[in-house]
């Protein structure tokens, strides 16, 4: 039954482009009349998902249902959905009227006609010019563009072109309106106004809006429900309140609004350790479990030093109108907090967080993952600011380097790829990192900010000066605040390019 | 260093506008002056001792000669036919070439453009030999032979501007059209075609007027049976009928002017940016 009440239903939808999975096992039921938003960073597969619903891309696997009917492989012109394109895609050779009327002119509706013998028949007919006129004027008045019918679209401002694009889509009374970052090309002020207008339009029209954006604020203000996506995978689906107040993992928390995110470890029943202190919490996780901790800045209370759960020093202060925003250094960690009272920079303050406001999330910690790594000109991978030797030939099976220490990779087909400055995701296994007191022994060095005994070994978190964390399993004993070096063997660094390798090909 | 520089500056300060001097000289020598001479000859006659006087003789002789008018009409017809055939063949070819799946490394484009690199007279001679080997010659099929030669010769000039327009087609507009309910045929008719109109205009310009004035092709392939406007201008000049020849060259100029005006009409606003040209 649940299936039938959804207007759009994506089940196990997957999209692979040239061997790269861009959308992975996408499951979503959209209720009729809902304003649903896909939110995620650029390149996470939002547009691809939308294009599969519109029919411009076909899913590699899975099904897309519209009112229970499989439309996965239907061509776009047969689908009762319309799209507002990111860059409008208005017809440059037509004026405003003809742009908006385009869909209506293509449309054929069943009309009952009586033939000469008096038999009634259903015939498919184009709409009459009068009907088209009426619908176009109505659509243009909905988007506030009355009297603009004869204007050439190239003479319109960005905001007006945007409105034409919306009118051109809604005039067809689609079951679902797909919007791909429709406001991204507008300036800040206009974007705010359009957000409100779009929301009102949604109420007035009563059709389902399927919205795509990378702007979390936009998603929070406009949507009934938000789908947060990362690397083609849905992270969380929920109302804006749910997403904001109960983010399911550190990524969602970080992406939605500002937050403090820390690595933590469960040290007892409803007790967790992070930023060098032990805290009470409300979530129960197994002992020694590695967790992500999220604390919203407005939930951090600043008290006198002796009353705090932990103590820090204020390192910066910004006045934000209603409140101040402070950064408090607690050991090597920074805590972002807000307070309506003024404190001096350099002052010592105590920090308290109510246990309900400590969000604890399960952490899939099997490897250290560095998503902002890149290849430098010596063919090394740079994590934070520290270069590590790595085996670049693993990026392309059957390839070899032009010569040792070069960034030129030669593929099996003889093609050259220049990896200099290429952005990569680097992964290092927890067991593959060697710590040492001899600081010259490793490629990076840092401070142990946390140490936990896990049954038969210690687990340490080493933080470098440039704020990268290395989680390390080790049988040896160090203390918190010890300074150690971090060494990783060349073959233990796994690399993945962020862009398709073909983009790096040299002519 | 800085001082040395300012010193040299005093001797000769180079300004950007000097760059247009060579072009202006070229324009005056090879465009303005010849047109002026044509105009002078078109509306004058000369006495026995070589003195020029104003006259409408060339004008009357042109408009009262059914042969010349007839040649003009035939030329316009051949020009139009050639333009249409070139577009009919060139458009689908350019469309396919612009599809990166068909034309992966752009080599196919070269294949179609290559004939342009062979000397024009040689090429036409070769066409005649191939055609007569196939049994089509100026003797039995003068029009067919000429048209085949014309199309063969001007096809690359059609394909190139069409191709440059097509690779710049706005794909998102095509998607928008299909999103709004247009099937492939309607997408083509209501979007691809209007988007490629500037290319069509360019291609027509490249074919229509040059066809009228080219005389080598029709001369060679019809074995002199078809006389085009270019032939008769050439004939007039080679027989020292300067005034008649100039007047017809003047008619040609007016035709060029008209065709420019017509194409300008299709060529407004944003679309002109997307217009593909040969140069
Ligand atoms: N037609 C395509 N061919 C190959 N890769 C593509 C294609 N379209 C998108 N991609 C890749 O898919 C990923 C997701 O793209 P997209 O859906 O546009 O992301 P978003 O809209 O979230 O920014 C990107 O890495 C992009 O490079
Ligand atoms: Mg996108």
- CATH number where A195 lies: 3.40.50.300
DSSP A128: P
Written as one string, the DSSP assignment of A273-300 is EETTEEEE-S----TT-EEEEEE-GGGE
Ligand 1 pocket, A17 CB below 6 A? yes
Query: Which residues from B are below 8 Å from A when comparing CB atoms?
Result: 170, 172-173, 175-183, 186, 190-191, 194-195, 197, 269-271
How many domains does chain A contain in total? 4
Name the closest-CA residue to atom 27, ligand 1.
A43
CA atoms within 13 A on the CB side of B268: 9
Say yes or no for a CB contact (<8 Å) between A76 and B176: no
Q: Identify whether residues A396 and A491 lie together within a single domain.
A: yes
> Which atom of ligand 1 lies at the shortest distance from residue A44's CA?
22
Per the CB < 8 A criterion, the answer to whether A106 and B203 are in contact is: no
Rounded to whole angstroms, the Cα distance separating A310 from A303 reads 10
Residue range B58-274, CATH number: 1.10.3720.10
pLDDT at B251 over 60: yes
Rounded to whole angstroms, the Cα distance separating A443 from A390 reads 12
**Could you give the C-alpha distances from A186 to A189, A199, A457, in angstroms and in order?**
8, 17, 55
Structure tokens at B152: 């063969």
CB B238: neighbour CB atoms within 10 A? 9
Say yes or no for a CB contact (<8 Å) between A92 and B271: yes
pLDDT at B279 over 80: no
Q: Is residue A90 part of a domain?
A: no
Question: Cα of A17 to ligand 1 centre, how many Å?
Answer: 8
pLDDT above 70: percentage of residues in chain B: 91
Q: What is the pLDDT, as a whole number, of residue B10?
A: 54
Rounded to whole angstroms, the Cα distance separating A362 from A293 reads 9
Of B179, B182, B197, the CB nearest to A83: B179
Q: What is the pLDDT, as a whole number, of residue A4?
A: 54
Q: Which of A362, A379, A394 is the last residue of a domain?
A: A362
**Could you give the C-alpha distances from A245 to A218, A251, A257, A316, in angstroms and in order?**
17, 14, 10, 26
- Binned at pLDDT 50, 70 and 90, residue B8 comes out as very low
What does the pLDDT look like over B146-173, one tens digit per residue? 999 999 999 999 999 999 999 999 999 9
Which chain B residues have a beta carbon less than 8 Å from that of A83?
Answer: 175-176, 179
Structure tokens at B51: 């003195």
Q: Identify whether residues A262 and A244 lie together within a single domain.
A: no
- Binned at pLDDT 50, 70 and 90, residue B2 comes out as very low
Rounded to whole angstroms, the Cα distance separating A305 from A287 reads 30
Ligand 1 pocket, A43 CB below 6 A? yes
Say yes or no for a CB contact (<8 Å) between A83 and B177: no
pLDDT at B248 over 50: yes
Ligand 1 pocket, A45 CB below 6 A? yes
Long-range contacts of range A304-309, CB-CB < 8 Å, 24 or more positions apart? A304/A349, A304/A350, A305/A348, A305/A349, A305/A350, A306/A350, A307/A350, A307/A352, A308/A349, A308/A350, A308/A351, A308/A352, A309/A277, A309/A278, A309/A279, A309/A350, A309/A351, A309/A352, A309/A353
- Binned at pLDDT 50, 70 and 90, residue B270 comes out as very low
Q: Identify whether residues A154 and A192 lie together within a single domain.
A: no
Closest residue in B to A99 (Cα) is: B177
Written as one string, the DSSP assignment of A43-75 is TSSHHHHHHHHHTSS--SEEEEEETTEE-TT--
Closest residue in B to A168 (Cα) is: B180
Q: What is the pLDDT, as a whole number, of residue A338?
A: 92
Q: What is the pLDDT, as a whole number, of residue A281?
A: 92
What does the pLDDT look like over A40-50, one tens digit per residue? 998 999 999 99
Q: Enumerate residues 6+ apart whose C-beta is below 8 A from B147.
A: B78, B81, B82, B85
Give the residue among B176, B214, B189, B186 at the shortest CA–CA distance from B79.
Answer: B214
Q: Identify whether residues A114 and A203 lie together within a single domain.
A: no
pLDDT per position in chain A (507 positions), as tens? 444 589 999 999 999 998 899 999 999 999 999 999 999 998 999 999 999 999 999 999 999 999 999 999 999 999 999 999 988 999 999 999 999 999 999 998 888 888 778 788 888 888 999 999 999 999 999 999 988 899 999 999 989 999 999 999 999 999 999 999 999 888 888 889 999 999 999 999 999 999 999 999 899 999 999 999 999 999 999 999 999 988 888 889 888 888 888 888 888 899 999 988 999 999 888 887 778 888 999 999 999 999 999 999 999 999 988 889 999 999 878 899 999 999 999 999 999 999 999 988 877 667 888 888 999 988 899 998 899 999 888 888 888 888 887 888 888 888 888 888 888 989 999 889 999 988 888 899 999 987 777 666 788 889 888 878 898 988 888 888 899 999 999 889 999 888 888 888 886
Say yes or no for a CB contact (<8 Å) between A102 and B197: no
Rounded to whole angstroms, the Cα distance separating A200 from A182 reads 16
Q: What is the pLDDT, as a whole number, of residue A364?
A: 63
Q: Which residues sit opposite A177 in a β-bridge? A: A82, A209
Which CATH number is A474's domain given?
2.40.50.140
DSSP-H helix ranges across B180-241: 184-187, 193-213, 216-221, 229-238
Domain containing A242 equals 1-80+174-256
Of B179, B190, B270, the CB nearest to A82: B179
Q: Enumerate residues 6+ apart whose C-beta is below 8 A from A219.
A: A37, A39, A211, A213, A226, A240
Collapse the DSSP code of A122 into the 3-class scheme (helix H, G, I; strand E, B; otherwise coil) and give the result. strand
pLDDT at B3 over 70: no
Q: What is the pLDDT, as a whole number, of residue A467?
A: 78
Q: Enumerate residues 6+ apart whose C-beta is below 8 A from A192.
A: none
Q: Identify whether residues A339 and A299 lie together within a single domain.
A: yes
A–B: how many Cβ contacts below 8 A?
67
Question: Cα of A48 to ligand 2 centre, how many Å?
Answer: 7
Which chain A residues have a beta carbon less than 8 Å from that of B270?
Answer: 92, 154
What does the pLDDT look like over B93-120, one tens digit per residue? 999 988 877 777 778 888 887 877 888 8
Say yes or no for a CB contact (<8 Å) between B173 and A87: no
Written as one string, the DSSP assignment of A426-485 is EEEEGGGEEEES-TTSSSEEEEEEEEEEETTEEEEEEEETTS-EEEEEESS---TT-EEE
Structure tokens at A372: 């902002």
Q: Is residue A87 part of a domain?
A: no
Q: Which of A319, A346, A362 is the last residue of a domain?
A: A362
Q: Is residue A86 part of a domain?
A: no
CA atoms within 13 A on the CB side of B10: 4
Of B172, B178, B190, the CB nearest to A85: B172
Rounded to whole angstroms, the Cα distance separating A141 from A147 reads 9
Distance from CA of residue B258 to its chain's centroid?
13
Dihedral angle computed from the Cα positions of residues B71, B77, B81 and B83, in that order, rounded to the nearest 10 degrees:
90
Q: Is residue A207 part of a domain?
A: yes
Type and span of the H or E element at A222: helix A216-222
Closest residue in B to A153 (Cα) is: B270
Which chain A residues have a beta carbon less than 8 Å from that of B177?
Answer: 91, 102
Q: Identify whether residues A397 and A481 lie together within a single domain.
A: yes
Rounded to whole angstroms, the Cα distance separating B79 from B83 reads 6
Q: Which residue out of A13, A17, A20 has the highest number of ligand 1 atoms within 8 Å of its CB and is therefore the one to mutate?
A: A17
Of A77, A83, A154, the CB nearest to B270: A154
**How large is the greatest C-alpha to C-alpha distance in chain B, in angstroms?**
80
Say yes or no for a CB contact (<8 Å) between B190 and A85: no
> Which atom of ligand 1 lies at the shortest distance from residue A42's CA?
23
SS3 track for A152-163: EHHHCCHHHHHH
Say yes or no for a CB contact (<8 Å) between A172 and B180: yes
Give the residue among A439, A53, A408 at the shortest CA–CA distance from A211.
Answer: A53
SS3 track for A176-189: EEEEECCCCCCCHH
CA atoms within 13 A on the CB side of A174: 30
- Binned at pLDDT 50, 70 and 90, residue B278 comes out as very low
Name the closest-CA residue to atom 6, ligand 1.
A17
Q: Is residue A452 part of a domain?
A: yes
Ligand 1 pocket, A213 CB below 6 A? no
Of A77, A91, A168, the CB nearest to B178: A77
pLDDT at B138 over 70: yes
CB A284: neighbour CB atoms within 10 A? 10
Q: Which residues sit opposite A70 in a β-bridge? A: A65
Give the residue among A466, A309, A271, A298 at the shortest CA–CA distance from A384.
Answer: A466
Using only C-alpha atoms, chain B has a radius of gyration, in whole angstroms, of: 24
pLDDT above 90: percentage of residues in chain B: 36
Which chain B residues have a beta carbon less than 8 Å from that of A168?
Answer: 176, 180
Q: Is residue A88 part of a domain?
A: no
Rounded to whole angstroms, the Cα distance separating A154 from A338 reads 47
* Ligand with an atom nearest the CA of residue A52: 1
Question: Cα of A395 to ligand 2 centre, how many Å?
Answer: 26
Q: Identify whether residues A357 and A373 lie together within a single domain.
A: no
Using only C-alpha atoms, chain A has a radius of gyration, in whole angstroms, of: 28
pTM of the model: 0.73
Q: What is the pLDDT, as a whole number, of residue A481?
A: 87
Q: What is the pLDDT, as a whole number, of residue B277?
A: 41
**Could you give the C-alpha distances from A449 to A71, A148, A273, A455, A470, in angstroms and in order?**
53, 64, 11, 20, 10
Q: Which of A256, A291, A307 is the last residue of a domain?
A: A256
Per the CB < 8 A criterion, the answer to whether B217 and B93 are in contact is: no
pLDDT at B269 over 80: no
Q: What is the pLDDT, as a whole number, of residue A228?
A: 96
Structure tokens at A302: 């600043």
Give ipTM to 2 decimals: 0.76
Closest residue in A to B178 (Cα) is: A77
């Amino acid at each position: 039954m649940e299936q039938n009440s959804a207007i759009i239903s994506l089940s196990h939808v997957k999209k692979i482009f040239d061997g790269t999975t861009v959308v992975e096992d996408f499951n979503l039921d959209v209720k009729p009349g809902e304003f649903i938003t896909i939110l995620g960073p650029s390149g996470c597969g939002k547009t691809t998902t939308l294009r599969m619903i519109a029919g411009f891309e076909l899913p590699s696997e899975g099904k897309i249902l519209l009112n229970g009917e499989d439309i996965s492989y239907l061509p776009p012109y047969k689908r009762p959905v319309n799209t507002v394109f990111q860059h409008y895609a208005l017809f440059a050779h037509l004026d405003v009227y003809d742009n908006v009327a385009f869909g209506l002119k293509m449309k054929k509706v069943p009309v009952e006609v009586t033939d000469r013998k008096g038999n009634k028949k259903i015939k498919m007919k184009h709409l009459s010019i009068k009907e088209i006129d009426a619908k176009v004027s109505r659509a243009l008045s909905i988007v506030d563009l009355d009297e603009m019918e004869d204007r050439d679209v190239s003479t319109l401002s960005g905001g007006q072109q945007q409105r034409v694009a919306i009118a051109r889509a809604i005039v067809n009374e689609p079951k679902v309106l797909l919007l791909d970052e429709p406001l991204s090309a507008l300036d800040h002020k206009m974007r705010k106004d359009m957000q409100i207008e779009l929301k009102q339009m949604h109420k007035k029209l009563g059709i389902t809006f399927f919205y795509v954006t990378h702007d979390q604020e936009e998603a929070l203000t406009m949507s009934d429900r938000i789908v947060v996506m990362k690397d083609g995978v849905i992270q969380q689906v929920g109302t804006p309140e749910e997403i904001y107040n109960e983010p399911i993992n550190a990524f969602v928390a970080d992406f939605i609004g500002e937050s403090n995110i820390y690595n933590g470890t469960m040290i007892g029943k409803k007790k967790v350790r992070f930023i060098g202190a032990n805290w009470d919490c409300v979530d129960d996780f197994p002992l020694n479990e590695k967790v992500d901790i999220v604390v919203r800045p407005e939930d951090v209370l600043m008290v006198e030093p002796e009353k705090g759960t932990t103590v820090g020093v204020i390192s910066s202060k910004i006045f934000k109108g209603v409140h101040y925003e402070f950064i408090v250094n607690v050991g090597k960690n920074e805590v972002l907090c807000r307070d309506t009272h003024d404190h001096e920079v350099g002052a010592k303050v105590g920090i308290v967080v109510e246990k309900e406001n400590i969000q604890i999330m399960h952490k899939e910690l099997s490897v250290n993952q560095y998503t902002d790594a890149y290849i430098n000109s010596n063919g090394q991978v740079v994590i934070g600011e520290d270069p590590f030797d790595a085996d670049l030939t693993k990026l392309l099976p059957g390839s070899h380097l032009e010569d040792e220490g070069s960034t030129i990779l030669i593929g099996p087909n003889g093609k050259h790829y220049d990896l200099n400055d290429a952005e990569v995701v680097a992964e290092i296994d927890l067991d593959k990192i060697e710590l040492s007191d001899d600081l010259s022994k490793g490629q990076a060095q840092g401070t142990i900010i946390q140490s936990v005994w896990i049954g038969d070994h210690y687990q340490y978190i080493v933080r470098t000066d440039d704020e990268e964390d290395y989680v390390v399993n080790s049988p040896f004993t160090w203390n918190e605040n010890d300074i150690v070096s971090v060494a990783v063997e060349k073959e233990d660094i796994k690399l993945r390019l962020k862009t398709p390798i073909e983009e790096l090909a040299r002519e | 260093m800085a001082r040395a520089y300012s010193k040299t500056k005093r001797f000769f300060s180079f300004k950007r506008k000097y760059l247009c001097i060579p072009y202006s000289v070229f324009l005056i020598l090879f465009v303005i002056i010849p047109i002026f001479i044509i105009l002078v000859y078109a509306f004058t006659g000369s006495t026995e001792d070589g003195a020029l006087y104003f006259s409408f003789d060339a004008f009357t002789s042109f408009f009262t000669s059914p042969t010349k008018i007839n040649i003009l009409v035939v030329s316009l017809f051949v020009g139009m036919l050639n333009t249409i055939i070139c577009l009919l063949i060139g458009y689908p070819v350019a469309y396919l070439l612009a599809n990166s799946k068909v034309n992966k490394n752009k080599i196919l484009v070269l294949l179609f453009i290559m004939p342009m690199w062979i000397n024009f007279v040689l090429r036409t001679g070769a066409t005649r030999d191939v055609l007569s080997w196939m049994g089509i010659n100026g003797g039995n099929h003068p029009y067919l032979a000429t048209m085949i030669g014309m199309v063969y010769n001007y096809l690359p000039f059609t394909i190139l501007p069409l191709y440059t327009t097509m690779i710049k087609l706005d794909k998102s507009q095509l998607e928008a059209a299909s999103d709004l309910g247009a099937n492939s045929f309607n997408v083509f008719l209501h979007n691809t075609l209007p988007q490629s109109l500037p290319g069509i205009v360019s291609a027509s310009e490249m074919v229509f007027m040059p066809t009228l004035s080219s005389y080598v092709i029709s001369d060679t392939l019809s074995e002199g049976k078809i006389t085009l406007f270019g032939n008769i201008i050439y004939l007039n000049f080679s027989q020292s009928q300067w005034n008649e020849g100039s007047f017809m060259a003047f008619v040609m100029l007016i035709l060029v002017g008209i065709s420019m005006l017509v194409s300008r009409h299709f060529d407004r606003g944003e679309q002109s940016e997307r217009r593909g040209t040969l140069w």
